[in-house]
Amino acid sequence: MRNVVVVGGGIVGLAVAWELSQRGQDVTVLEKESRWAAHQTGHNSNVVHAGLYYKPGSFKARMSVAGNRSIVDFARQYGVPVQVCGKLVVATREEEIPALDTLATRAEANGVPAKRISPAEAREYEPEVSCVAALRVESTGIIDFPAVCSALVRLLDEADADLRLGTPVRGIRAGRGGGVEVATGTEVLRADALVNCAGLQADRVAELAGLTPSARIVPFRGEYYELKPDRRHLVRGLIYPVPDPTLPFLGVHLTRMLDGSVHAGPNAVLALRREGYRWADVSMKDLTDVARFPGAWRLARKYAYPTGLEEVRRSFSKKRFAASLAQLVPAVTEDDIVRHGSGVRAQALRPNGALVDDFLIESARNQVHVLNAPSPAATSALEIAKHIADRVSA
């Protein structure tokens, strides 16, 4: 039996650990926080994505389509709340129709059940929606991703995995007799292999292991509002805009959650700390790392104006945020929404300023590093886990 250390206790790390344990591996999971799913997994919109946005043949396309099925099956098997409710992607202006048609073509190529519908048909699903055309995507769902993590922890505990909270990784080196050695600050763990699923800290963990990652993590915070209880009736399901194909974000959208609440967002602004959920969360180390990275400056030159500026304005202006939502559902006003928190996306960026638009997984001797796994990674977690387990076993 081989021993594998998994760094990171979000949904990807826990899914990898469970897949490895099912294959007979002895697994140790190290999570620096005091709880599982503390960051990206615990702060996302809990949407099970269908896979229509992603380039055919890419990791994201293949793994999200397969993951859409496997994560729903997992949830149903282990008692995790899930609903496959479908969603609308709506073009609110005539000039968005070509991009909507491109999404329909991509959905067909990826094997995603989606159909182009008229405004009247869209209003049968969402009576308050405003659009000139829409795409109905049947396989999109909503789920409780932290509850998925809790189920994975139970399964791993039953499999006698070594699960350690409050255990940061301080150093990684090749083992003297092979394998790897992982220092936690209190002890040195010896293992045959290491898998890095550290999310917002993934590039730093790779550097601890002696690698020079091909991309760096730049954190983007997404802020959410929610509809007041007496206005939740304005949204029955999930309503998304046609995304800007030049950006990795899907745009501000409306999502009815499992508890009946309706979340609105997120926007996308540079976080001033890797795990910074408010403007007041500032890390000089993290800001210095961004400032020293050439790719960040190249990205800023491309997107700071007007896109980035508008996102910042929307962050500080409830009125602007509400106006964005009103493009989708005109009945939504500034008085209808209240702040609901935020999440931080670990976006990998190349030195030339290019955003990494696919999952990025790099290997070294006895090591696998997941360097870019933003949305739809939660949807795809069980499929990513199979891919990584194959690499570990190779």
Task: Give pLDDT tens digits for 349-362.
Answer: 999 999 999 999 99
Q: How confident is the model at residue 248, as a pLDDT?
A: 64
pLDDT band at 291 (very low <50, low <70, confident <90, very high): very high
Tens of pLDDT, residue by residue over 161-207, are 999 999 999 999 998 888 999 999 899 999 999 999 999 999 999 99
- Report H helices in 95-209: 97-110, 119-125, 145-158, 202-208
pLDDT band at 94 (very low <50, low <70, confident <90, very high): very high
Q: How far apart are CA 352 and CA 40, in angstroms?
A: 25
- Report H helices in 129-219: 145-158, 202-208
Q: Where in the chain is the domain with CATH 3.30.9?
A: 217-355
CATH topology for the 1-83+141-215+356-393 domain: FAD/NAD(P)-binding domain (3.50.50)
Lookup: tokens for 324:
């964005």
The domain at 217-355 falls in which architecture?
Answer: 2-Layer Sandwich (3.30)
Q: How many CB atoms lie within 10 A of CB 350?
A: 16
Percent of the chain at pLDDT above 90? Answer: 92
Please answer whether residues 199 and 40 qualify as being in contact, where contact means their C-beta atoms are separated by less than 8 angstroms.
yes
With H, G, I as helix, E, B as strand and everything else as coil, classify residue 355: strand
Nearest partner of 359 among 336, 339, 340, 386, judged by Cα:
386
Q: Where in the chain is the domain with CATH 3.50.50.60?
A: 1-83+141-215+356-393
Tens of pLDDT, residue by residue over 214-232, are 999 999 999 999 999 999 9
State the DSSP H helix or E strand holding residue 135, giving kind and residue range, or none if neither: strand 133-137
| Range 203-226 burial, b when 16+ CB lie within 10 A, else e | bbbbebbebebebbbbbbbbbbbb
Residue 247 has pLDDT above 90, yes or no: no
DSSP string, 24-73: T-EEEEE-SSSSTT-STGGGS--EE--S-SSPTTSHHHHHHHHHHHHHHH
